Amino acid sequence: MVDSHSKSFFGQNTGMIVSSPSSSDPFIFIHCIKKKPDGIWEKPSINEGKIIKISLEEIIMILRVLNRQTQNWQSHHIYKDKKTSLSFSWEDEDANILWINIGIYSKMLNLAQTEILRLLLIHLLKEKIAYSTIPKRNSNENKVIKLKQEDLSNRDKIEVINEESDCYKKELIPEIKLRGDILKDLSNVDGIILGETEKAILIEFDNKEVWVPKSTISNHYLSQKNLSQKFLINNWFLKKNNLIP
């Protein structure tokens, strides 16, 4: 099995590179570059162009578009206080031309290129679900496994296993606590999209229509109108608009 993958899609003025450094990483990279006014391409090797990290969840949402289950999908990435918008959308209902917009970069793929991208993402998703979900073992965990494979005939070996297990739990506690701190400031509410601009969405909540800034929404959503779906929104905004007590 090949551990890394890279596929380039180039046009006359814009290029896109889809890459996966390792099957054990739960993400891929999309790197966009364009031709400069002097005719020279931007060089990823010197940090030119735009690169974003795509999670497994986002791969699934992109595949919904490529599999023609929805017309488009869009989201935002925030890195070091810099927000980058991205979207995947079919040009029309015939679904022959795909437009990919990442920040200021816009790339068009024809039907054949789109199919290659679809098959690649399906392969990467299956591969990463199989290999990136395997718990990573540190040296202490390897000792535990080795002890389990031997005949645990004395008390000392059992004590070592218990000690290593405690270390593993301690490593997980900060991550779980951080996730809990973030979620306590958010609420999951039902709503229906009625309209959308570049920075906000008009959502109907129990017969009340509110313009919601996209920056206050923390989950992925479908831009399809008149579809009831969940929105994970900052509590301060919901309280300000009397949507929660």
The pLDDT assigned to 171 comes to 44
Domain 5-131: give its CATH code: 2.30.31.10
More confident position, 29 or 142: 29
The rounded distance, in Å, linking the Cα atoms of 43 and 51 is 12
Angle at 87 between CA 201 and CA 62, to 5 degrees: 110
pTM (predicted TM-score)? 0.55
H or E element, residue 137: none
pLDDT for res 65 = 93
What does the pLDDT read at residue 102? Answer: 93
- Which of the residue ranges 32-46, 58-72, 167-181 has the most confident prediction, judged by mean pLDDT? 58-72
| Confidence (pLDDT) at 172 | 45
Mean pLDDT, residues 218-236 taken together:
84
Domain 186-240 has CATH 3.40.50: no
**How distant, in Å, are the alpha carbons of 121, 161, 227 from that of 18?**
9, 42, 31
Predicted pLDDT of residue 110 = 93
Rounded-to-integer distance, Cα 82 and Cα 37, Å: 25
Domain boundaries, the chain: 5-131, 139-183, 186-240
Q: For residue 161, what pLDDT band results from cuts at 50, 70 and 90?
A: very low
Per the prediction, the chain carries an average pLDDT of 81
Report the chain's C-alpha Rg in angstroms: 23
For residue 146, pLDDT beyond 70: no
> Tokens 């679904």, residue?
95
Three-state secondary-structure class, residue 233:
strand
User: Is the model's pLDDT at 164 over the cut of 50?
Assistant: no
Position 100: which residue type? I
pLDDT at 136 over 90: no
